[in-house]
Amino acid sequence: MERNVNHLLFQTDPMFKQISFLIMIFLFVLSGLIFGVRHKSTYFSAGWASIKSWLFLAPFILLILSLPAPWPLFFLTMTGIFSAKRFFQMVGIYHRSWFIWATYLSIMSLGYLVFKNNLALYNLMPMIFLGIITLIPLIKNSPTNMIQYIALSLLSFIFWGWCLLHFGLLLNLDQGVFIVLYLILLTEVSDNISNSVGRIFGRIKPFDKITSRVTLEGVLISVLVALFLAWNLHYLLPNPSGEFWISAGLVSALSGRIGGLILTGIRRDLGIKNTGIFIIGRGDILSRTDKLMFVGPLYFYIYLFLQQKFLPL
């Protein structure tokens, strides 16, 4: 898909304009329905908090995706850095500046490699980063808490650098903007459905020592909803074959839940709920990016595999 680098995608692509319009109409209609009953129960108040945040966040995300390259990649890289910062604050090592800046600069390097579409070196970066941070205690001649700092820095880099920036690699694909928008929609809808069903009807809580919000009923219903939505919006994919939209629905619903569970488990271990307010509504930035961090890499490699499968002989 050729893009005019001097214009927003809103101006040049009717499909992007149409899907953006439908998203905002859906949010405004849903907010109108819930606004009047937001004080009736905790279920409605939680739903209203989520919708409030998306009324602010959705236009911003659509605007960023509408920008010509490399601006979407730039904002994605900054999101990764800001998420890493929040993670370091949450786990209590934000004062270890050598590890912090090594992580930030390495995430910036990932952004540059995505810009150059250098997948081979991109996939070497976790090993390169590990080598860098294991040298820091030697340079500082200080072994104190070495294992803790190295482990947490590596975790931050993998989650909010290497994993999250796979969305940048997806942007490099043909019609990559639509693939990214497609995955974000599927992930966010399935996450909200899972939470809502879990609160109202959930009885089986397989991870009750980590969170009571994730229920088997909620996950199963969210998978069905994600698959239904993936089928309805499959025209956003360059190849609308069943393998592509089915895998997108499953990856978004299931790996999105796993990402959220992992961060919730870390918070539970630390005895905290969040590290601050991200935007109007609920949760911090990690609550927005945790569910996406595994969706990007999983679908990217599934997509490449399926793309090779469908190449003509």
The pLDDT of residue 2: 44
**Tell me, what's the pLDDT at 1?**
43
pLDDT at 41: 66
SS (H, E, C) the chain: CCCCCCCCHHHHCHHHHHHHHHHHHHHHHHHHHHHCCCCCCHHHHHHHHHHHHHHHHHHHHHHHHHCCCCHHHHHHHHHHHHHHHHHHHHHCCCCCHHHHHHHHHHHHHHHHHHHCCCHHHHHHHHHHHHHHHHHHHHHHCCCCCHHHHHHHHHHHHHHHHHHCCHHHHHHCCCCHHHHHHHHHHHHHHHHHHHHHHHHHCCCCCCCCCCCCCCCHHHHHHHHHHHHHHHHHCHHHCCCCCHHHHHHHHHHHHHHHHHHHHHHHHHHHHHCCCCCCCCCCCCCCHHHHHCCCCCHHHHHHHHHHHHHHHCCCC
**How much is the pLDDT for 197?**
85
pLDDT for 313 equals 47
Prediction pTM value: 0.91
Mean pLDDT by 10 residues, the chain (313 residues): 60 88 87 73 68 85 93 97 95 92 98 97 97 95 93 97 98 95 94 85 90 91 96 93 96 95 92 58 77 96 90 56
Predicted local distance difference test score (pLDDT) of residue 274: 56
